[in-house]
């Protein structure tokens, strides 16, 4: 089986590359240089010429702050280009595995968000990601949409790497304590996706995948510093004290029941995965 991976140099894409080592499937790893997904003709050509069976889309516009001023550019990548991938998948009869986000939700209340919960994004990034989901579901292609949240790993720009760096430079950090979510180690998500491909577990639909458990950004930062042996003081603060262009949902805990039930795969707790990642650094 041939699997096209787009955005393969991003943080999730790089863990997919690791997870696929030793696979008997043929993975074609591409990033913008090899395959610009905003080029409709190039996408269609690639998928047909390479006789792709599965498209795993790890490419995205992920800068939540910048998206507020560049919603058009974000839409081009997170929606229009996703529609190109969906069309190419439909034409070829391939499966599109697409990664989406908890930011499609408003996330105001305390209830667990399931795949049936009503999406209502409150920022530009969330709007463009939801538009991408809608274009896939309307396209008629075979698809899995996997919504994840608070993704981190050893590569790229993410919260864990920022806290590890800032805690070296500053004796005291202030981190917001009123946004709750579930951190997700990109390596866990990558392994789960590759395991599903290897097992040919291609059940279609929308699924939620984050690590188990929940915390605020402040609790997350405290745990990062503790595990890394940093003596930095981490103080909690409120979102209003932290000026940002994009509104952030207050509470986006995704229910993982459907993913676990469908794919029969346990999901690690965020504390265990964070320890694994920091120990490996």
Q: Which sequence positions are flagged as catalytic? A: 125
Q: Left if phi > 0, otherwise alpha if psi is -120 to 50, otherwise beta: which for 251?
A: beta
**From 45-53, 106-114, 142-150, 245-253, span contacting ligand NAP (CB under 6 A):** 142-150
Closest C-alpha among 30, 32, 37 to residue 2:
30
Footprint of ligand NAP on 67-86 (CB under 6 A): 77
What does the alpha-carbon distance between residue 139 and residue 164 come to, in Å, rounded to a whole number? 42
11 lies in the binding site for ligand NAP (CB under 6 A): yes
Dihedral of CA atoms 127, 128, 133, 135 in degrees, nearest 10, equals 120
What does the alpha-carbon distance between residue 43 and residue 36 come to, in Å, rounded to a whole number? 8
Distance, CA of 187 to chain centre: 11
| Residues ≥6 apart with Cβ < 8 Å to 61 | 67, 70, 73, 74, 76, 77, 78, 125, 128
Residue nearest to ligand NAP as judged by C-beta position: 10
Q: How many residues bind ligand NAP (CB under 6 A)?
A: 25
Nearer to ligand NAP, 105 or 263 (CB): 105
36 lies in the binding site for ligand NAP (CB under 6 A): yes
60 lies in the binding site for ligand NAP (CB under 6 A): yes
**From 34-42, 112-120, 214-222, 250-258, span contacting ligand NAP (CB under 6 A):** 34-42
Closest C-alpha among 74, 180, 217 to residue 132:
74
Nearer to ligand NAP, 41 or 231 (CB): 41
Strand partners of residue 216: 180
Helix (H) or strand (E) holding 89: helix 81-92
Least distance from ligand NAP to the Cβ atom of residue 77, Å: 5
Strand partners of residue 145: 98, 206
Nearer to ligand NAP, 61 or 263 (CB): 61
Instruction: Single out the residue of 54, 99, 104, 253 in contact with ligand NAP (rule: CB under 6 A).
Output: 99
**From 6-14, 82-90, 236-244, 266-274, span contacting ligand NAP (CB under 6 A):** 6-14
32 lies in the binding site for ligand NAP (CB under 6 A): yes
Least distance from ligand NAP to the Cβ atom of residue 257, Å: 19
Nearer to ligand NAP, 62 or 167 (CB): 62
- For 206, half-sphere exposure in the C-beta direction (CA atoms, 13 angstrom radius) is 21
**From 109-117, 145-153, 160-168, 266-274, span contacting ligand NAP (CB under 6 A):** 145-153
Q: In the complex, which residues of this chain contact ligand NAP (CB under 6 A)?
A: 6-7, 9-13, 31-32, 36-38, 58-60, 62, 77, 99, 101, 129, 148-151, 156
């Amino acid at each position: 089986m041939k699997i096209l991976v787009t955005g393969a140099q991003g943080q999730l894409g790089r863990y997919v590359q690791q997870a696929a080592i030793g696979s008997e499937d043929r993975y074609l790893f591409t990033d913008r240089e090899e395959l610009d997904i905003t080029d409709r003709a190039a996408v269609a050509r690639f998928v047909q010429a390479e006789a792709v069976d599965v498209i795993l889309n790890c490419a995205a516009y992920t800068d939540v702050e910048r998206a507020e001023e560049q919603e058009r550019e974000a839409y081009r990548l997170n929606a229009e280009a996703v529609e190109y991938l969906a069309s190419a998948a439909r034409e070829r009869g391939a499966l599109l595995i697409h990664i989406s986000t908890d930011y499609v939700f408003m996330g105001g209340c305390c209830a667990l968000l399931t795949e049936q919960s009503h999406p209502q994004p409150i920022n530009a990034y969330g709007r463009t990601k939801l538009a991408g989901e809608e274009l896939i579901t309307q396209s008629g292609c075979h698809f899995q949409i996997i919504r994840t949240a608070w993704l981190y790993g050893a590569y790229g720009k993410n919260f864990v790497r920022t806290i590890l760096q800032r805690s070296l430079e500053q004796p005291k950090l202030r981190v917001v304590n009123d946004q709750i979510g579930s951190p997700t180690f990109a390596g866990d998500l990558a392994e789960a996706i590759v395991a599903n491909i290897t097992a040919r577990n291609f059940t279609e639909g929308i699924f939620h995948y984050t690590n188990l458990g929940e915390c605020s950004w402040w609790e997350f930062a405290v745990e990062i510093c503790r595990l890394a042996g940093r003596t930095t003081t981490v103080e909690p603060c409120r979102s209003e004290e932290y000026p940002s262009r994009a509104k952030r949902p207050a509470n986006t805990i995704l229910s993982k029941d459907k993913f676990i039930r469908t794919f029969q795969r346990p999901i690690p707790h965020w504390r265990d995965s964070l320890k694994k990642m920091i120990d490996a650094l």
